[in-house]
């Protein structure tokens, strides 16, 4: 099968490669760019472990062809930390609030939460739960994931994080 040349910006860097037209974006990211944060969980778009940000939208990269991202801007979980290695507020929130157990869903969860906070900087608990509904976690029960996102929202907005009384 003839290969197609693709170019895009991934985590702030211009990248390019040759791909078969049927190559999924997740495979391009993992196999050609060696960015393995986004995971392949279901190959059907149900789990969200492959979520990345593409041109300002959360996308499940197992359902997009690499050629569809040609000329686009992609952010993966590897692009969230600062250049000096400082964790993004979401990464810090997941760490501080114990928003992960096995960690398999975490990169996709963080990327979906990132877009959620771009769209709604101060979401309610219900808005967070709705916003991450397309990302599945089989370990945590979501409570600490929600707290991690609330923590990050507070930090990004420059206000103290106050946990709700249980």
CATH 1.10.3720.10 for domain 89-157, yes or no, is no
CA distances from 23 to 7, 65, 74, 124, 148 (A): 14, 6, 16, 38, 34
Other Cβ atoms closer than 10 A to 134:
15
Beta bridge partners of 75: 53
pLDDT at 1: 81
What is the tens place of the pLDDT at every residue in 110-149? 999 999 999 999 999 999 999 999 999 988 889 999 999 9
Class of domain 4-79: alpha beta
What is the tens place of the pLDDT at every residue in 76-85? 999 999 999 9
Distance, in Å, from the CA atom of 83 to the CA atom of 78, rounded to the nearest integer, reads 11
86 burial class (0-12, 13-18, 19+ CB within 10 angstroms)? exposed
Show me where the domains of the chain are located.
4-79, 89-157
* Tokens of residue 60, six digits: 């499940």
State pTM to two decimals: 0.94
Q: Is the pLDDT of residue 166 over 70?
A: no
Q: At what angle do helices 106-119 and 143-157 cross, to 10 degrees?
A: 40
pLDDT at 35: 98
What are the start-end ranges of the H helices in the chain?
25-27, 89-96, 106-119, 125-131, 143-157
* Tokens of residue 119, six digits: 């769209």
What is the tens place of the pLDDT at every residue in 9-52? 999 999 999 999 999 999 999 999 999 999 999 878 899 999 99
Q: Is the pLDDT of residue 164 over 80?
A: no
């Amino acid at each position: 099968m003839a290969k197609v040349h693709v170019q895009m910006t991934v985590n702030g860097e211009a990248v390019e490669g040759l791909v078969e037209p049927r190559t999924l974006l997740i495979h391009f990211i993992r196999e050609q760019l060696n960015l393995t944060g986004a995971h392949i969980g279901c190959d059907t778009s149900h789990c969200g472990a492959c979520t990345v940000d593409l041109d300002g939208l959360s996308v499940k990269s197992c359902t997009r062809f690499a050629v569809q991202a040609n000329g686009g801007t992609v952010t993966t979980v590897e692009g969230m930390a600062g250049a000096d290695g400082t964790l993004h507020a979401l990464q810090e929130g997941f760490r501080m609030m114990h928003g992960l157990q096995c960690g398999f869903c975490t990169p996709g969860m963080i990327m979906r939460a990132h877009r959620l906070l771009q769209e709604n900087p101060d979401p309610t608990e219900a808005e967070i739960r709705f916003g991450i509904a397309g990302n599945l976690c089989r370990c945590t029960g979501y409570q600490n994931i929600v707290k991690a996102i609330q923590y990050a929202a507070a930090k990004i907005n420059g206000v103290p994080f106050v946990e709700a009384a249980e």
